[in-house]
């Protein structure tokens, strides 16, 4: 072994600064969780101020020149380390974060936060009242601010690259476009072929008593790896997963007694939670202690929700339990009819309610429109028309109102351009990872039929979760599946699964 230089003082100093900033970020996350799960509504204004204060302090503490000097001082030590070591990854990733964070002036960042807060309620009202015109000025402002944000950066091939990089670091618009074009070319005809509207699945509208939904959700995710020692499951309006560290994972869900969506929501959020829980504890209280990107994160929620949770082996184990939990509704429903109902492909207006296949066309539509909005090749006032035309082209149904069309998502009101593509990238990656696991553990379907998911969880943990943010998303995927993002496995997965359903 070559002699390694002694650990420089700068490293301890950097670690301690980053740990404090990380603590602030996690406190922010817990306050946000509290706001949406626990807080009485009256606490809103003060909580907003508290979150803004923490955000500002964390940002200010990070972008100071001293952090840059520490990183510079550590350059030669970093060179001496193994690229894969925790310390080399910490220095490398923090340098990238620091250089990026410093480019955005504090006043622009604050203006973006303020505009988003203001636009949120206007958007919610516009959606409710089907009134795009009232939202238009706020959308114009959001786009204008994003263009100023893009101007803070240089050296990109397309302006949209800058926005994408916030959620999927290193990913380029041209790569996403190529992957999505390939997916779209297969999906549009596949959906037209397999979409069904005539099957009787009225039993999916319940009633499903809420207590039984909660018990069943817990029973499922406990088999996935949810452990009450480290996890919670609470109620919220818009489900999400949060954490204050690897040993404190907060999942949220919602229940309505006229559908069983909650089971899939619980599996989805559990997938996010298992990822955060599985990060190496050596990375705790560092900026490496989180999932590596939105798409990789979504690949895990989707893997557990769809590839596992909508599969036949899974239901061979769980259906009798679910049937017993909801006897009034499911007693006379055959497992096959239930399986078909939860995998039914049917074009619908709302993205979050879409099935596994059509979901991606909702995302591709938004990805295309976002690029045109940012480039200015489409006038914002014409957006509803453009949305409706393209929606009908891809999904074959006309949009009856902006409420279920262009106004349905919260993202644009908050300036969240660049986020949507990560949902479908996650679907694509989920199958790449699944194919890899399945090739190494061919016994998994038999294990699922016996209600065993531990080997799958352990594989994902030791090959992906443990890495946290040590590497870029591309490096991470390379390490897990031995290649880059590729739509083909996902297209094959959907074609086989949906083809079999349509043929039966």
CB of 301 to Zn ion, least distance (A): 4
Residues 6 or more apart whose CB falls under 8 angstroms from that of 342 comprise 204, 260, 264, 310
- Residue 399 to residue 178: CA distance in whole angstroms: 27
Using rule CB under 5 A, residue 261 touches Zn ion: no
Q: Which is nearer to Zn ion, 129 or 353 (CB)?
A: 353
Q: Are 275 and 465 in contact (CB under 8 A)?
A: yes
Q: Which is nearer to Zn ion, 213 or 301 (CB)?
A: 301
Q: How many residues bind Zn ion (CB under 5 A)?
A: 1
Site string for Zn ion, 60-79 (x = CB under 5 A): --------------------
Instruction: Name the 3-class secondary structure at 106.
Output: helix
CB of 254 to Zn ion, least distance (A): 14
Q: Which is nearer to Zn ion, 329 or 422 (CB)?
A: 422
CB of 204 to Zn ion, least distance (A): 22
Q: Which is nearer to Zn ion, 301 or 371 (CB)?
A: 301
Q: Are 418 and 373 in contact (CB under 8 A)?
A: no
Please list every residue from 289 through 328 that binds Zn ion, using CB under 5 A: 301
- Residue whose C-alpha is closest to residue 107's, from 54, 149, 162: 149
Q: Which residue has the tokens 């991606």?
A: 360
**From 29, 78, 168, 269, active-site residue:** 269
206: left (phi over 0), alpha (psi -120 to 50) or beta: left
Query: Closest CB to Zn ion belongs to which residue?
Result: 301
User: Is 269 an active-site residue?
Assistant: yes
CB of 402 to Zn ion, least distance (A): 25
Q: Which is nearer to Zn ion, 71 or 357 (CB)?
A: 357
CB of 274 to Zn ion, least distance (A): 12
Pseudo-torsion of CA 91, 94, 95, 100, nearest 10°? 170
- Residue whose C-alpha is closest to residue 242's, from 423, 35, 394: 35
Pseudo-torsion of CA 56, 124, 265, 425, nearest 10°? -70
Q: Are 220 and 318 in contact (CB under 8 A)?
A: yes
∠ Cα 201 202 204 (to 5°): 75
Catalytic positions, written as ranges: 269
Instruction: By CB under 5 A, name the binding residues for Zn ion.
Output: 301
């Amino acid at each position: 072994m070559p002699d390694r230089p002694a650990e420089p003082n700068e490293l301890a100093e950097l670690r301690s600064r980053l740990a404090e900033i990380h603590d602030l970020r996690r406190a922010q996350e817990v306050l946000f969780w509290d706001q949406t799960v626990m807080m009485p509504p009256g606490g809103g204004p003060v909580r907003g101020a508290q979150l803004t204060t923490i955000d500002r302090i964390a940002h200010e503490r990070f972008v100071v020149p001293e952090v840059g000097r520490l990183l510079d001082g550590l350059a030669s030590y970093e060179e001496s380390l193994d690229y894969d070591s925790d310390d080399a990854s910490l220095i490398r990733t923090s340098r990238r974060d620091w250089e990026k964070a410093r480019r955005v002036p504090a006043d622009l960042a604050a203006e973006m936060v303020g505009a988003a807060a203001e636009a949120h309620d206007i958007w919610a009202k516009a959606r409710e009242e089907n009134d795009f015109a009232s939202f238009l000025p706020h959308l114009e402002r959001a786009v204008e601010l994003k263009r100023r944000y893009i101007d803070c950066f240089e050296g990109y091939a397309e302006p949209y690259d800058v926005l994408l990089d916030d959620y999927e670091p290193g990913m380029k618009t041209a790569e996403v476009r190529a992957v999505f074009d390939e997916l779209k070319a297969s999906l549009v005809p596949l959906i037209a072929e397999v979409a069904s509207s005539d099957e009787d699945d009225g039993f999916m509208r319940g009633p499903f008593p809420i207590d039984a939904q909660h018990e069943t959700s817990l029973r499922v995710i406990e088999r996935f790896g949810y452990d009450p020692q480290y996890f919670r499951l609470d109620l919220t309006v818009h489900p999400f997963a949060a954490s204050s560290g690897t040993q404190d994972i907060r999942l949220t869900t919602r229940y309505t007694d006229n559908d069983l969506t909650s089971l899939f929501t619980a599996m989805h959020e559990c997938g996010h939670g298992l990822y955060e829980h599985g990060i190496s504890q050596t990375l705790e209280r560092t900026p490496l202690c989180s999932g590596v990107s939105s798409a990789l994160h979504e690949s895990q929620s989707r893997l557990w929700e769809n590839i596992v949770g909508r599969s036949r082996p899974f239901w061979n184990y769980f259906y009798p339990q679910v049937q017993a939990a909801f006897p009034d509704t499911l007693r006379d429903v055959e497992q096959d009819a239930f399986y078909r109902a939860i995998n039914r492909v049917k074009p619908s207006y709302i993205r979050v309610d879409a099935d596994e296949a059509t979901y991606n066309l909702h995302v591709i539509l938004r990805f295309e429109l976002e690029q045109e909005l940012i480039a200015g090749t489409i006038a914002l006032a014409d957006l509803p028309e453009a949305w409706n035309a393209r929606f009908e082209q891809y999904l074959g149904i006309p949009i009856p109102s902006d409420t279920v069309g262009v106004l349905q998502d919260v993202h644009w009101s908050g300036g969240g351009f660049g986020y949507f593509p990560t949902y479908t990238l996650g679907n694509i990656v989920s199958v790449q990872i699944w194919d890899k696991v399945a090739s190494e553990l061919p016994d998994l379907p038999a294990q699922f039929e016996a209600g065993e998911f531990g080997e799958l969880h352990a594989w994902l943990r030791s090959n992906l979760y443990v890495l946290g943010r040590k590497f870029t998303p591309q490096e991470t995927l390379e390490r897990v599946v031995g290649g880059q993002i590729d739509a083909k496995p996902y297209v094959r997965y959907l074609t086989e699964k949906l083809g079999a359903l349509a043929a039966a």
